Every structure is written in C-alpha cells, then in structure tokens.
Amino acid sequence: MKNNVFTQVQLNFRSALKASFYPALLLMLGFSLLAVSCTKSDSQRIPDVTVEEIMDFASQQLVILIDETDAAIERNPMSNRGPHVNSRAVRDGELFIIPSRDWTSGFMPGLLWFMYEYTGETYWLEHAKRHTAHIEREKTNAGTHDMGFKIYCSFGQGYRLVDDPHYRDVIVESARTLITRFNPTVGAIRSWDHNTDRWDFPVIIDNMMNLELLFRATQITGDSVFYDIAVEHARTTIDVLFRDDYSSYHVAGFNPETGELTAQHTHQGAFHASNWARGQAWGLYGYVMSYRFTGYAEFLQQAENIAEFILNHPNLPADLVPFWDYDDPNQPNTARDVSAATITASALYELSTMGTNQSAYYKNKADQILASVYHNFRSADGENFGFLLERSTGHLPHGYEIDVPLIYADYYFIEAALRKQRLEAR
C-alpha cells in the first residue's frame, strides 16, 4: 500500500512535472529565439524603404522648411555675423537660422538642388538658386577651412546640374581661397583659427570633406595645384589622425614652423582617445570621395578599413544609428547621432560602386541604414519646421544641438537616397 501510495505520488509528481516542464521549455525556447532575433538579426528585420517614399516625404517637408526659413529671416534678418540666409537646426524648439559664414550654410541649398535633380521641377530650381546665391560672399572668406561644406554643397551641387559659368567661377575662386590655408611644412590645410592655446595649427578629420571642392577645381581648370594639395592633405590625415584600428582622433595639432605633431585631441568627442561618431563618418566619406577623384589604392583601402571599424563596432546599435560617441560610457542612456548614420550610408553607397569584393555588403548596409533612419527617426508629417530627421547631435560637450533635427543629417540622407536610385537604375 505504502508502495502504491508512493508510486502514485511519484506518478502525480512526474505528470505535474511533465505538465509544467513542456510549457516552460516552450517558453524558454521562445525567449531564446526572441533574444537571438533582437540582437543578431535586428538590423536584418528593418523593413525596406523605397527612394520614392523618401522623396515624397522630403518634398512635403522641404516646402515647409522653405516657408518657415523665409518667415524666420523676415522676422529676424540680421545676425551679428551678417544677414541670416538659411536654416541649420531646431534648437530649444525654435528654428535656428544662420548667416552664410556658418559652416552649415551650404546644406539647405544643397538639399533643394537634390530635389530639383529628382523632380526636374522649376519650383525647386528657383528656391535652390535663391538660397545658393546668398552664400557667394563666402568665396573670399579665408578665415576657415569650411569652404567645401559651404560652397561645394551649394554651388558645387548646382554646377553639377546647371551649366552656369558663374557657378564655376565661384567654385574656382573659393578653392583658391581655401588653399591659402595650406602649409607645405605640415602637409595639410589649417582647419580652425580658434583655441590656439590647445593647438597651434589644427587639422581635423572633418577637413577631409573640404577636399571635394579642390578636386573639382582641378577638374574644371586643369590646374593641378588644388589636386596636389588635396592628395597631400589626405595622406597627412592618414598619418596623424588615424589609430591602428582605423578609428580616428578628431584634431591633430602641429607646430607650423617645424611640422612637428604636437597634439592628438578631441573637440566634439567624449575624450581625446574616444571615437566621436560623426568624425568616423567624415573620415569614411572623405576617403571614398578621394578615391573617386584619384584612383589611389591607399585611399580605397583606408575607406574599407574605416567602414569595417564602423560596421563591426560592438557599440553600434542593431538599428545602425550610432550614439554620438562610440565610447560614451553612458550608452545606451545618451544621445544618438543620426547625421553620422546618414553620412555613413551615403559613403557606403559610393563605396559599393568601387569594384571591391564587398560591394554587395556595403550596398546592403547602406540600404539598412536608410530604412532604419526613415522608419525610426523621421519627423512626423508636417513637424519640425520641415526638417526630415530627428535625433542628431551637433556638439554634446558644449551642450548644444543634442538629439535634434540638423540640416546636414537631412542633406546626406537625401544624397544617399539619390545614390541608391542611381545604383538601382544601373
């Protein structure tokens, strides 16, 4: 009897175990599958986006941006650095307008040129021309390296689309102004004139972006002086700003008399040895573009190495939009930088055309970034004064433009979309 009772208890226990074990097992299996799909393959599950969807959204938003910008300039025409001309950001919930001297003044006209390129419509052409004309005065401003950002993104994009000899002259004059900042002893163009207590002659990773203006100036004039300086600058940047893992510092300081390297710093990143996210994206874009103009294998190799650094970074979120600095210890409780993602996507599309055995991989990653940004980071329809994307970060250490819409995130987003269109039309 005892045995029987014991057996019965055992049987009851076994069937109870069975009854709870199998559902528990299924539950555990479900959780494991969910965990795997949330980590490894999250980026693969981002739904696709078409160029048409992006451009339809952009046309609706940018009409608003034009009107809001015009209205804001009418209310407040002058800054203490010259007349307001274009929009840069949303700061503290307000549209932030800027004079032509601002490093971002070329992006809004550039966006309007992209819209004209896509639609062929006079509306975009007229507004693109009007916003481009405002920036011409920068062609003689030798006080900054940002000439490429300002003039190439406006006049340069315009000249690609309309054969206006005046645009060509502005590009060439701007390039002549920019090369006055080249120091042959250092082998680079001086980036900034500020913070001379920290560095004597600074060269920053962003400066790679200004080389496109110089390469174009040589194409237009046949004068190799611009090309030679651009190539030397790009080589010096590899030597002094990159680490062994192909991540980059933000700022290198030099003694301008001897050419000696005196500092490897950050300005916008978390700390000197950290990886400021937009800086990594500028570097990638800069070397892809330098390879386009020169065909030098060293630049293609550099671009591929930077791409690997970015795409394999353990702190890159599954949605492929980085936090503002890959090394911010507060991740994930810190700001994203969508601009770093859109610059990267645009560069990867071009890199995918350069005949490496990774072409399909680069194209696929660029597609994923574009889709992620479109689905997860775009403005609600009609919101954000017509800006396209939210959640970029301009300068976190100085406490401004954190987690906001920024014009250059939108510019590279649309450039990337048009590159995708060209690629897929082949």
Question: What residues line the site for ligand GLY (CB under 6 A)?
Answer: 103, 206, 268, 278, 394
Minimum separation from the CB atom of position 287 to ligand GLY (A): 16
Cβ pair 392, 409 in contact under 8 A: yes
Minimum separation from the CB atom of position 292 to ligand GLY (A): 21
Report the residue number, 127 or 269, with the smaller CB distance to ligand GLY.
Answer: 269
Minimum separation from the CB atom of position 283 to ligand GLY (A): 11
> CB neighbours of 408 closer than 8 A, spacing ≥ 6?
104, 107, 339, 343, 392
Please give the Cα distance from 380 to 388 (Å, whole number): 9
Report the residue number, 346 or 368, with the smaller CB distance to ligand GLY.
Answer: 346
Q: Give the residue carrying structure tokens 């329809």.
A: 381
Report the residue number, 176 or 278, with the smaller CB distance to ligand GLY.
Answer: 278
Please give the Cα distance from 151 to 168 (Å, whole number): 11
Cβ pair 337, 392 in contact under 8 A: yes
Q: Minimal CB distance to ligand GLY: which residue?
A: 206
Active site residue 328: no
409 phi/psi in degrees, rounded to 5: -65, -40
Positions of E strands within 82-124: 82-91, 94-99
Report the residue number, 69 or 268, with the smaller CB distance to ligand GLY.
Answer: 268
The one catalytic residue among 146, 337, 367, 410: 146
**CA neighbor of 65 nearest in space, from 127, 116, 114:** 127
398 phi/psi in degrees, rounded to 5: -90, 0
The one catalytic residue among 70, 92, 206, 319: 206
Report the residue number, 374 or 412, with the smaller CB distance to ligand GLY.
Answer: 412
Minimum separation from the CB atom of position 423 to ligand GLY (A): 26
Cβ pair 392, 338 in contact under 8 A: yes
Cβ pair 43, 370 in contact under 8 A: no
Minimum separation from the CB atom of position 359 to ligand GLY (A): 28
Active site residue 146: yes
Catalytic residue list: 146, 206
